Structure 1
Amino acid sequence: MPQPATADDLALLDAYWRAANYLSVGQIYLLDNPLLREPLRAEHVKPRLLGHWGTTPGLNLLYAHMNRAIRQRDLNALYVTGPGHGGPGLVANAYLEGSYSEVYSSLGEDVDGMRGLFRQFSFPGGIPSHVAPETPGSIHEGGELGYALVHAYGAVFDNPDLLALCVVGDGEAETGPLAASWHSNKFLDPRRDGVVLPVLHLNGYKIANPTVLARIPDDELASLMRGYGHTPHFVVGDEPSAVHQELAATLDTVLDDIAAIKADPGSKRPAWPMIVLRTPKGWTGPKEVDGKQVEGTFRAHQVPLAGTRTDAGHRAQLEEWMHSYRPEELFDADGRLVPELRALAPEGTRRMSANPHANGGRLLRDLAMPDFRNYAVEVEKPAASTSAATAVLGEFVRDVVARNDDRFRLFGPDEVASNRLQAAFEVTDRAWNATVIDGDDHLAPGGRVMEILSEHLCQGWLEGYLLTGRHGLFTSYEAFIHIVDSMLNQHAKWLKTTLGIPWRAPIASLNYLLSSHVWRQDHNGFSHQDPGFLDHVINKKAEIVRVYLPPDTNTLLSVGDHCLRSRHYINVIVAGKQPQLTYLTMDQAIAHCIRGVGIWEWAGNTEGEPDVVLACAGDIPTLETLAAAKLLREHCPELEVRVVNVVDLMRLQPASEHPHGMSERDFDALFTPDKPVIFAFHGYPWLIHRLTYSRSNHHNLHVRGYKEEGTTTTPFDMVMLNDLDRFHLVMDVIDRVPALGSNAAVLRQRMEDARLAARRYTREHGEDDPAISGWTWE
């Protein structure tokens, strides 16, 4: 049975806290003289002072107290830091626990190691100032605020013995994603999931302004937390010994409550405990600088003593500040933490900085995968029959869910069924731990499908799930995936950085399935029509991102299987959910996806040098390209046409720019070095130009795609609005093949007339001409 903290326990905790604070200040300021064993001189101070002090002492306080709880209770715990700019604190604690020196052997636990620790922080060739991937124990960088709590919940799903202590900064608490994240407790199953212990850290200020939650009455704040479904516990103060005593007792209470809930979850959703910790910003730092109050104000946010290298007065204040922690009591003559303090840290993987869940690739197990070939649709002839690609993929995903009920989840903002993956509900439910009433569909605490109408939460849960060693799939409407653009940025930066950190193991890929896409949002209209996520993703580091545009069901199955098996990528798959023509048998689809791009011989009419290349990427552009090719075969049989389909968009880049890129020779072999290329593309046309601008034949490349023309209309009218339709593609060929010219003037006019007739039909009948909507190659 855990024992209450004694006066001796609290005295040791205070010393450990002082050690962490000392190391944190040293990282912000010092180049040399790490233990202040000689007077502090200008050359001992960094020329550029970067970092954030204000939140750091509170983070260090919580870390020290969590260590006591871990030792007493043998907890398996993660520390998720919302105020990631408190990086010096988490680095300091990893160093005190010894794990920092284990992964960075050049930074030993001695004076030289401490000097190196200080020097590297926010220094060229060193480490960032945030709780970055380089920080042992971190799964959350915290550079962009708002995602700590959702990452913590993602980490504990399917980890029943894991506790994530999540520090929410009061500035971060003002963001929309964080406000929604409090609802994550309605999706937590006490029986199969771990626990998140949120700590709302109120130190009162952001960079220059007070924070909202720090300026409302405690009873109002408590009501807010209760309304979110938590039982709040307050720890408030500015006198260290009193705060230590209160925090130790409070932590004991909430951990007892958590243990009781886990032992007997009951039939109702528990009111999980949370802590509100109110301490001064910049606590234990300078109280005044240059006659202005610093501690307890916004001035403590970053570097309280900004002129330390050049201002002797500031330098003297820094020296006094660092001596106030009494480093001679904390570190021995060799610079090592004294044994009685070192004994306060947990051992091995019980150290939060060495918890394997914070290096999820070490725990990652392959998915037990069904054979995607078994879900193939039969294709007797190309472009003769239809199937709904994502609905068939849903059957494959259903069986992935069934075979991996401890390491795979499906995420989506209320759109899993809308995007036709509802077959998953044959084997699982939607995760739900709130009220259920008659008529509800597939809601249960242990569900594997995570649906909430917040793209931020879906993305954040999935990121936390992946970073701790599991797998998942995020399905969304294409237009609204933009909501998580900046979250993708942060995850991409994490993946890119960890590629260069030897002790970080690769994690499962973040997989997006974007359906309800731009070309089939004709019923919802302009607000739902935007394919620009592809442009955003392709800006990221080439080693990290992959974009796939499978044209039919069998290619989608092949791509889906590949992405779910992959590691350390961001994979974006765009596929329509409506019934569409099928083109390739499964064997053909596999070969085509392996190539990533290929000639469809059956659609063209030449095996030799073409007069024109019709290229396409995306299901609707592929349909329109094939219909255009058929028209050209009928009306210009002498024209040599080659049809090229692109599944893997990154194949268009040069091999020097992307691992999937094509050599110049291979690109010219497909697209020719000098013939016109009419490219029908799913997204914005200029993206293809960006990917191919350096190719020798780029001047002959003409791209049709979405050009921000949309409304509520019919599917074919939608492609006509953007000049992507089959008739316009034929006109493009006529305009760009010199041999045609005026000889094809009659055909060009017929194509213009066909466009007018198609539009007139929609205005009269409210639907597309059946000759168009029911078109097949036959």
Structure 2
Amino acid sequence: MPQPENTDLSLVDAYWRAANYLSAGQIYLLDNPLLTRPLAPEHIKPRLLGHWGTTPGLNFVYAHLNRVINARDLNVLFVTGPGHGGPALLANTWLEGSYTETHPNVSRDAEGMRTLFRQFSFPGGVPSHVAPEVPGSIHEGGELGYSLAHAFGAAFDNPDLVVACVVGDGEAETGPLAASWHGNKFLDPAHDGAVLPILHLNGYKIANPAILARIPHDELDALLRGYGYAPHYVEGDDPAALHPRMAQVLDEVVDEIRRIQEAARAGDTGRPRWPMVVLRTPKGWTGPAEVDGVPVEGTWRSHQVPLAGVRDNPRHLALLVDWLKSYRPEELFDADGGPKPELLALAPRGELRMGATPHANGGLLLRDLRLPGTAPYAVEVTKHGTTTSEPTRVMGRMLRDVLTLNADRRNFRLFGPDETASNRLDAVFDVTARQWLAERLPTDEHLGTDGRVVEVLSEHLCQGFLEGYLLTGRHGLFNCYEAFTHIVDSMFNQHAKWLGTHRKLDWRRPVASLNYLLSSHVWRQDHNGFSHQDPGFIDHVMNKKAEVVRVYLPPDTNTLLSVTDHCLRSRDYVNVVVAGKNFTPDWLGPEEAALHCARGAGIWEWAGTDHGLTEPDVVLACAGDAPTLEVVAATALLREHLPELRIRVVNVVDLMRLQPETEHPHGMPDREFDALFTTDKPVIFAYHGYPWLIHRLTYRRTNHRDIHVRGYKEEGTTTTPFDMLVLNDMDRYRLVIDVIDRVPGLGVKAAGLRQLMQDQRTRHHDHIREHGEDLPEVRDWTWPY
């Protein structure tokens, strides 16, 4: 077997043993970190938490990557896919010094080692997963299924980066991970970095065998080759044999990556077969082989804590001592408890350390987007509500120019599940293509090896690619049909939690916000039917920490432009923008839209009859494009039939404005809310989503009992656009009836109008069933005043 480059594998083995010792110590030890005294029950944590099973394999990979980084001067980002690998990454970053640089209280000596051990999975300490607190990480250890998507997102537009992604064999059973293998069809070796998947087969999940570890070798090899990879195998349980094999394989795959990139950068446009590594080692490798007569190493029993009774069982305590001493810590750490100098020689220097790479602290690399502003795309509005435009189509022109302005920086991409054109953003294809390295046919359009639009029919991959892209210092936007954004509910959860923690760490720098555009929304999915009608992603987002999430419901084109400009400039948020793609009335001119979006909520004096100067009889409020149209149309009917009624129209763009300022940074103080919505007048609120969210946001307000909300209530089918509103009682005629029913004394006076509105609903019902389209007075309505 040829020897790897610049190799002293005994040093790699020592480093691996040191990481294993530190990892086991984190799970068990409260004190006596170097075993300088006989280990006693009081040195053991009272609650043993953490996971050993996957850890020694991760340590093995990390140590070998250190060797190849030094030998080849590589920039490597390490992504930890196995869910419970926290001890490994904490151990390795402490060994290389990056952990102490970000957490100075955890010094590289005996006292620092004691702190490292004590804090792990301990009250006031650090989680058992690879979390934001761990330098070098962009991937939360609990996010099973997303590691490889994050890795590809990190590699896009990072031509000098190698992303080493360890994929756990349990994680490999998830749907998102199974789809993520296809990331190699989007990775351009001419302009992107490389992803090195390392599939770690240790045989078991928590209690069950792992599928990929239990299928025949030929079947596994065929699967991976079918995905388009060239797998290299490192298999066994004898470190003496596996160290040289792993070193040899890593040298081979790095050579392959370089050949692929050099060929592509010399003009080869073919899709390469990227290398990957399959590492098969025992679960709980190097831990106790047997406990109480039962096998542990190489079985599911090593997944978490191999020795559970250490405090109370002297035999278990003795086994723990033997286990820890098997790593020969006296050879690894000096008298002060720091790693010995010869051990530190394996750790790369400076930013080449995987825990110190700036790619894992993307704010260090982030450059502001060059933005064109909103003026070049603004729709002229000479009279409110009398012209129409397609909001997202105009937004697409703005995004086209964002791509153009930042072409040289290569720091902005659009991601979406085959819906960029459907969501009317297709102007971007004037200047870029869809990234695509698989086969192309003459009938294809807008496909290229260097596109700025990534489309794949997996919301999981779109989200994962974008998250990896953002966390390594770039900008982007994810556009999706509203109903199917729910597919990434869990991924959104994890990213929002990551940001919540990331914001508290002063050494982590702000990153670009995760921007969602939800279009093809609930009120204009009449043609696709009930399956495509669900506005509930907003409700899900609203559960997260107020300092992280923002929700915007621009009612027309100019407000969408203003919101988009704001979101693309923002940092450390998740911005959810819900906007229609169909022709929508132009309510506000560019200056009015900018002012209205800056307020987040405000009175539309031109629509109401109180002019914001007198106390209204009723407030008609709206949030969302379809609700806004119905509120304004209802106002026109009321002005026509009840001219003496004082009506105030309030539009809400920023949903967070409805909360008190004590609950959200954008929230309104009570005095401002009361001035806007009154303290005792009926408020009829037409809302884009599920009605109860508005009640949840306003339940503390003075006049909450007078707020009546109309919204989506799970009534949907294949029908006409206006019928969707009628089915959910949010149409203009129903809103007029609500006003009549809730303004004191109006019911008797306006009985005839109420009856007329009911009759209009009946006419609508009969008309659409005969003609298949909405009433002309609805379909062609414009603001008459």
TM-score tier after normalising by the smaller chain length: over 0.9
Partner of 2:218: 219
Aligned mates of 1:121, 1:713 — CA distance in 2: 57
Partner of 1:758: 764
1:671-727 CA-partner distances (Å, limit 9, x unpaired): 000000000000000000000010010000000000000000000111000000000
Partner of 1:348: 350
Contact conserved, 2:86 with 2:141, CA < 8 A, in 1? Answer: no
1:635-687 CA-partner distances (Å, limit 9, x unpaired): 11111100000000000000000000000000000000000000000000000
Aligned mates of 1:739, 1:555 — CA distance in 2: 37
Aligned mates of 2:198, 2:420 — CA distance in 1: 33
Aligned mates of 2:660, 2:171 — CA distance in 1: 41
Partner of 2:150: 151
Shift of 1:404: 1.5
Matched, 1:4 2:4: yes
Shift of 1:339: 0.6
Shift of 1:277: 0.3
Correspondence for 2:777 among 762, 771, 775 = 771
Partner of 1:470: 474
Partner of 1:23: 22
Partner of 1:705: 711
Letter in 2 for 1:376: A
1:179-213 CA-partner distances (Å, limit 9, x unpaired): 00000000010000000000000000000000000
Contact conserved, 1:51 with 1:302, CA < 8 A, in 2? Answer: yes
Contact conserved, 1:610 with 1:641, CA < 8 A, in 2? Answer: yes
Partner of 2:322: 320
Equivalent runs, 1:52-71 vs 2, <5 Å? 52-71=51-70
Shift of 1:739: 2.3
Equivalent runs, 1:283-322 vs 2, <5 Å? 283-322=285-324
Letter in 2 for 1:597: A
Aligned mates of 1:84, 1:445 — CA distance in 2: 33
Letter in 1 for 2:231: P
Matched, 1:638 2:638: no
Partner of 1:498: 502
Correspondence for 2:564 among 550, 557, 560 = 560
Correspondence for 1:330 among 329, 332, 335 = 332
Shift of 1:142: 2.1
Partner of 1:228: 227
Aligned mates of 1:431, 1:776 — CA distance in 2: 42
Q: Percent of aligned pairs with the same residue?
A: 70
Partner of 1:34: 33
Shift of 1:267: 3.1
1:325-364 CA-partner distances (Å, limit 9, x unpaired): 0000000100111111101100000000000000001110
Equivalent runs, 1:399-410 vs 2, <5 Å? 399-405=401-407, 406-410=410-414
Aligned mates of 1:311, 1:604 — CA distance in 2: 78
Aligned mates of 1:598, 1:217 — CA distance in 2: 65
Aligned mates of 1:763, 1:4 — CA distance in 2: 76
Contact conserved, 1:156 with 1:194, CA < 8 A, in 2? Answer: yes
Aligned mates of 2:338, 2:72 — CA distance in 1: 27
Matched, 1:575 2:579: yes
Correspondence for 2:677 among 671, 674, 690 = 671
Correspondence for 2:281 among 276, 279, 282 = 279
Contact conserved, 2:3 with 2:244, CA < 8 A, in 1? Answer: no
Contact conserved, 2:4 with 2:244, CA < 8 A, in 1? Answer: no
Contact conserved, 1:613 with 1:678, CA < 8 A, in 2? Answer: yes
Correspondence for 1:433 among 431, 437, 443 = 437
1:291-320 CA-partner distances (Å, limit 9, x unpaired): 110000000000000111221111111111
State the SS of the aligned residue for 1:680. Answer: strand
1:560-603 CA-partner distances (Å, limit 9, x unpaired): 00000000000000000001100100000000000000000011
Letter in 1 for 2:696: R
Contact conserved, 1:281 with 1:295, CA < 8 A, in 2? Answer: yes
State the SS of the aligned residue for 1:415. Answer: coil
Task: Note the residue ranges of structure 1 that are not aligned, 5 or more in a row.
Answer: none
Partner of 1:716: 722
Contact conserved, 2:164 with 2:196, CA < 8 A, in 1? Answer: yes
Shift of 1:144: 2.4
Shift of 1:771: 1.0
Contact conserved, 1:518 with 1:530, CA < 8 A, in 2? Answer: yes
Shift of 1:743: 1.4
Task: Note the residue ranges of structure 2 that are not aligned, 5 or more in a row.
Answer: none
Partner of 1:747: 753
Partner of 1:140: 139
Contact conserved, 1:146 with 1:178, CA < 8 A, in 2? Answer: yes
Partner of 1:371: 373
Contact conserved, 1:75 with 1:350, CA < 8 A, in 2? Answer: yes
Correspondence for 1:653 among 655, 659, 672 = 659
Contact conserved, 1:163 with 1:195, CA < 8 A, in 2? Answer: yes
State the SS of the aligned residue for 1:204. Answer: coil
Shift of 1:84: 3.5
State the SS of the aligned residue for 2:211. Answer: coil
State the SS of the aligned residue for 2:8. Answer: helix
State the SS of the aligned residue for 1:655. Answer: coil
Contact conserved, 2:563 with 2:597, CA < 8 A, in 1? Answer: yes
Letter in 1 for 2:40: R
Contact conserved, 1:45 with 1:308, CA < 8 A, in 2? Answer: yes
Contact conserved, 1:366 with 1:565, CA < 8 A, in 2? Answer: yes
Partner of 1:385: 387
Partner of 1:597: 601
Letter in 1 for 2:656: M
Contact conserved, 2:51 with 2:305, CA < 8 A, in 1? Answer: yes
Aligned mates of 1:156, 1:384 — CA distance in 2: 47
Aligned mates of 1:30, 1:142 — CA distance in 2: 22
State the SS of the aligned residue for 2:403. Answer: helix
State the SS of the aligned residue for 2:518. Answer: strand
Aligned mates of 1:338, 1:716 — CA distance in 2: 74
RMSD value over aligned CA atoms?
Answer: 0.9
State the SS of the aligned residue for 1:191. Answer: coil
Contact conserved, 2:269 with 2:449, CA < 8 A, in 1? Answer: no
State the SS of the aligned residue for 2:35. Answer: coil
Aligned mates of 1:257, 1:643 — CA distance in 2: 65
Aligned mates of 2:254, 2:716 — CA distance in 1: 55
Aligned mates of 2:776, 2:523 — CA distance in 1: 18
Matched, 1:608 2:609: no
Letter in 1 for 2:746: L
Aligned mates of 2:143, 2:378 — CA distance in 1: 42
Correspondence for 2:528 among 505, 524, 528 = 524
Matched, 1:448 2:452: yes
State the SS of the aligned residue for 1:165. Answer: strand
Correspondence for 1:681 among 684, 687, 693 = 687
Aligned mates of 1:625, 1:590 — CA distance in 2: 21
Aligned mates of 2:141, 2:85 — CA distance in 1: 9
Partner of 1:257: 256
Letter in 2 for 1:647: V
Contact conserved, 2:81 with 2:145, CA < 8 A, in 1? Answer: yes
Aligned mates of 1:176, 1:552 — CA distance in 2: 37
Contact conserved, 1:84 with 1:140, CA < 8 A, in 2? Answer: no
Partner of 1:625: 631
Letter in 2 for 1:732: D
Shift of 1:5: 5.0
Letter in 1 for 2:743: V
Partner of 2:47: 48
Aligned mates of 1:739, 1:377 — CA distance in 2: 42
Partner of 2:79: 80
**Aligned residues between the structures:** 776
Partner of 1:416: 420
Letter in 2 for 1:4: P
State the SS of the aligned residue for 1:17. Answer: helix
State the SS of the aligned residue for 2:381. Answer: coil
